[in-house]
Amino acid sequence: MSALRALAPAKVNLGLCLGPMRAEDGRHELASVMQSISLADEVTLEPGDGADEVLCPGLAGAAEQNLAALALSAFRAATGWDEGPLRVRIVKRIPVAAGLGGGSADAAATLRLLARASGRGDEQLLFELARELGADVPAQVAPGRWLAAGAGERLEALRDPAPPLAVVVLPLAHALSTAAVYAEADRLGLARPSRMLARRLRELRRALASGAPLPEPPELLENDLQAAAISLCPKIERVLEQVRAAGAQHALVSGSGPTVVALFGPAAGAEQAARVAAALAGRDPRPLRASSVGAAFARAQPLAPHPGRGG
């Protein structure tokens, strides 16, 4: 087989309403909109040697590597594809354990690459495999904008925002375990009743179904996990203050954090995002500019020959 490449875009949550824990699997119900952005890892699939392997330079044993390996194993088991040894390479650009779904994005990209290489497995099978891998993986099988319910596995496609949503990503030099943040949310009693969750789902659908870059009213962007993330990493509060002082009207923690994202609507959004990023350029880690993307951004493609190698 020929080597293939796919981008694995990060996701940000446009609102995250936390509901009760499910007795059957211990996951929390939620209502959220998951939006893919142009900040992305690069994942390649190529013939390997000896046995299947996943390589992620500089991140030995990271969750990104493990989830991609699980995706490879699950795809082989589900499809019976007996192609010789395969190697998955991941070039990391998405911060790790940051609330941006980097590991889930890599697993989803691995599934897309395997389906393209094998000619097996339709999108429905990829979604089914993704549900077994983790709550954030299904929404990243076909990157774009998804209304998510259940624990993230019940998805409804929403129209891509037009014009694109402008985003400034502010990583922190700190990692947060998703499980730890959810445990802290439980300790703080942040979960809402199921009826409120259902209402928020309807409100998000109504606000974003038409392709609006941001929901109205802005209160729909509220992330119920933010207080738990701040409790575990108080530095987040200072970053939120900095980005708002720099001119960001909408700033919130992404997912389970600790990353802070600033979101900019259609009125001079890209220009305003550039000004905010420039104002914060001296911070470490540096701010990253991004924009919303759809499925075409992440499509599996033949790997272009390396300059100087010919072919």
Task: Identify whether 25 is a catalytic site residue.
Answer: no
CA distance 129 to 131: 5
Catalytic residue among 11, 92, 106, 160: 11
- Whole-angstrom Cα distance, residue 278 to residue 243? 11
Q: What is the DSSP string of 226-259?
A: HHHHHHH-THHHHHHHHHHHTT-SEEEE-TTSS-
Distance, in Å, from the CA atom of 198 to the CA atom of 200, rounded to the nearest integer, reads: 5
Angle at 270 between CA 264 and CA 273, to 5 degrees: 60
- Tell me: cis bond preceding 266? Omega within 30 of 0 counts: no
For residue 141, give both structure tokens: 């099988």
DSSP-assigned states of every residue in 164-227: PPEEEEE--S----HHHHHHHHHHHT-PPPHHHHHHHHHHHHHHHTT--SS-SSGGGG-BTTHH
Q: What angle do CA 251, 108, 163 make, to 5 degrees?
A: 45
Active-site residue flag, 136:
yes
Catalytic residue among 41, 136, 160, 224: 136
Active site positions, annotated: 11, 136
